[in-house]
Every structure is written in C-alpha cells, then in structure tokens.
Chains A and B, each alone.
Chain A
C-alpha cells in the first residue's frame, strides 16, 4: 500500500498563475480531505470530498479555490490567480468511513509546499 500520494512535493508559481495540487488516496479509502498549513501554524480544514461529490467545503476561500475528486483519477485542489498569501503547505488526507472497524483516523500525504513568488 503506497499510502496517500501527493504531487508535486514542491511547487513554485508566480503571482497570477494557477496551481494544481494532486492527491491519490490510499487504496480502499473513499474520503479525501484537504488541509492548509501556514508556517508555524496548525492544520486548517479546507474541503472534504468523496468520489464526484463535495461533502463539506466550509474551509475553502470563496474565490480562486476549487476542489474535485473525479470518478477516475486523483483529487485536485486548484488555486487560480495565486497570491503570495497562498504560500503554504497543503496536505491531503484520506480515510475509510469513520467507524469502520479498526480504522478511524486519517492518513496524511507528504504535502505540497506551494511558494508564490
């Protein structure tokens, strides 16, 4: 089991460009979550998705940010027209349904470190 795979590990974008962050969940996991971590800060929830559905996007900025988890392929977090304040580590996590026997926590990917210059 390869775990949660995120790519790229590091991404540099100029202001105004688009950033695309990818996340492939663990095998057997159907739930994907995106978190943002600013330097020296905690993990802030952004969005929770299941296949083809956004379940909770209460942490997503209203503009420029979008997420999807298509039927086939990885989950994508898209940031349009990036600004310097978007520079952060973006972590993806996956889980089976909470309450599944023996499982309850998230497994995190290694993150994508976005730098906007």
Chain B
C-alpha cells in the first residue's frame, strides 16, 4: 500500500520568513495530494491540494509543488504569520482508491 513520509517533524521559523515542508510517497499510482492544517485541539482542515496532472498550485501565501518523477511534493508558506503555527499534514491517495494516507505531521512554530 501507499506510504507517505513527511519531514521535518518540527520546524521553527521567524515571522515573515518562509517555511517549507516536504513529503515523499511510495506508490506511483497516487494522483491526489492534499495538505491539512490542524490547530491545537481542533479538526484537520484542508488548506490546499494538488492533482498529479499539475506541477504547482498557489493560493495567496501558500503553494504546493509536485515532482511525480521523484515522487515528492512540498508545501511552501511565505511571509509567515503567528497564526500559521499549527501541525501540518500531507497526504496522498491512489487513483481509483478512496483512502487518504497521511504523513506523520510537521509542527510549525512561528516566532514573533
């Protein structure tokens, strides 16, 4: 089955700097890659996603890139703000399947 690895497990950046979180997946049949943000004690919320027919997608300060050949995808947050502090999860789903497989999560801390 699919396996998703996420790095780093913790990340601390200064407010205003950029943050990058990286994930790799094992199954080349995976074709959908969402990113979720989970604040303390709350539900995971979808913040951005990308499909395998696209190499990059951007939404304001958040962008995701996908390298199908290398089987990795990354989340980029620019001009970080204190409210970006949370745990971020990447995930992947195999074409034709329904089960999302999550990475281990990255705890992002934005230092003022």
Contacts and interface: CB of A to CB of B under 8 A. Distances in A.
Interface in B3-23: none
A42 B102 contact: yes
Interface stretch (A13-21, A64-72, A103-111): A103-111
A27 to B, nearest CB: 18
Nearest to B93: A98
A31 B89 contact: no
A35 B101 CA distance: 10
B66 to A, nearest CB: 14
Interface of A: 31, 33, 35, 41-45, 48, 55-56, 58, 91, 93, 95, 97-98, 104-111
B86 interface: no
Nearest to B45: A108
Contacts of A107: 46
Q: Which of A45, A58, A95, A104 has the most CB of B within 10 A?
A: A104
Interface residues of B, number: 22
Given A42-B89, A42-B103, A48 B98 contact: yes
A48 B28 CA distance: 22
16 contacts: A35-B102, A42-B102, A42-B103, A42-B104, A43-B89, A43-B105, A45-B100, A91-B43, A95-B98, A98-B32, A98-B97, A104-B32, A105-B34, A105-B46, A109-B43, A111-B43
A105 B46 CA distance: 7
A104 B99 contact: no
Contacts of A111: 43
Contacts of B34: 104-106
A56 B103 contact: no
Contact of B43 (A31, A44, A104, A110): A110
B61 interface: no
A39 to B, nearest CB: 11
Contacts of B42: 110
